[in-house]
């Protein structure tokens, strides 16, 4: 059996009156993450961690922001395609651990639903998905609500 670890980091700017998509959900907030796709920073870091673990480069390589067909794409589709690529290499998810960094909104009430969405896409047990959230105590771009970032580490085996 082979096991591999992957790591992901992503950041998106926040804009007023823009939808805030996180973990496959649209959260109620006055600001939202902006990007070429739906800017779901959580799903993006999971994609990056999985792609890195399987030595498949990164999300920007697999799903470039120069591809007009991906403009506004639902990141759940990107995660589905990512796990298909990882599976083609003979790997499956052992576990995923993520941390979201944002000042507002509070995401703790939404974490169980996010975990269920992600586990469903990855076809893995919900217990294999860990999502945590933290603020930066009002410091930096996260604290000023100018952006949101996320980190992810994953373990795949095959």
Whose structure tokens read 């992503």? 10
Residue 135 annotated as part of some ligand binding site? yes
Residue 45 annotated as part of some ligand binding site? no
Residue 26 annotated as part of some ligand binding site? no
Residue 149 annotated as part of some ligand binding site? no
C-beta of residue 14 within 8 angstroms of C-beta of residue 100: no
Residue 124 annotated as part of some ligand binding site? no
Residue 11 annotated as part of some ligand binding site? yes
State which H helix or E strand residue 119 sits in. helix 111-122
Residue 30 annotated as part of some ligand binding site? no
Residue 113 annotated as part of some ligand binding site? no
State which H helix or E strand residue 47 sits in. helix 41-53
Strand pairing category for 92-101 and 3-16:
unpaired
Residue 29 annotated as part of some ligand binding site? no
Residue 44 annotated as part of some ligand binding site? yes
Q: Which residues are annotated as a binding site?
A: 10-12, 36-37, 44, 58-60, 63-67, 134-137, 144
Q: Which residues are annotated as a binding site for a divalent metal cation?
A: 10, 12, 44
């Amino acid at each position: 059996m082979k096991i591999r670890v992957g790591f992901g980091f992503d950041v998106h700017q926040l804009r007023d009156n823009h939808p805030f998509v996180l973990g496959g959900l649209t959260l109620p907030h006055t600001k939202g993450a902006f990007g070429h796709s739906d800017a779901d920073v959580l799903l993006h870091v999971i994609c990056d961690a999985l792609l890195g673990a399987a030595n498949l480069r990164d999300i920007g390589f697999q799903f470039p922001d120069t591809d007009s067909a991906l403009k506004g794409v639902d990141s759940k589709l990107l995660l589905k395609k990512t796990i298909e690529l990882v599976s083609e290499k003979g790997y499956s998810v052992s576990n995923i651990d993520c941390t979201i960094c944002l000042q507002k909104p509070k995401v703790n009430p939404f974490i169980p639903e996010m975990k269920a969405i992600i586990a469903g896409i990855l076809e893995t047990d919900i217990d294999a998905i860990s999502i945590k959230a933290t603020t930066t105590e009002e410091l930096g771009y996260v604290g000023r609500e100018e952006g949101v970032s996320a980190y992810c580490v994953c373990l795949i085996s095959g």
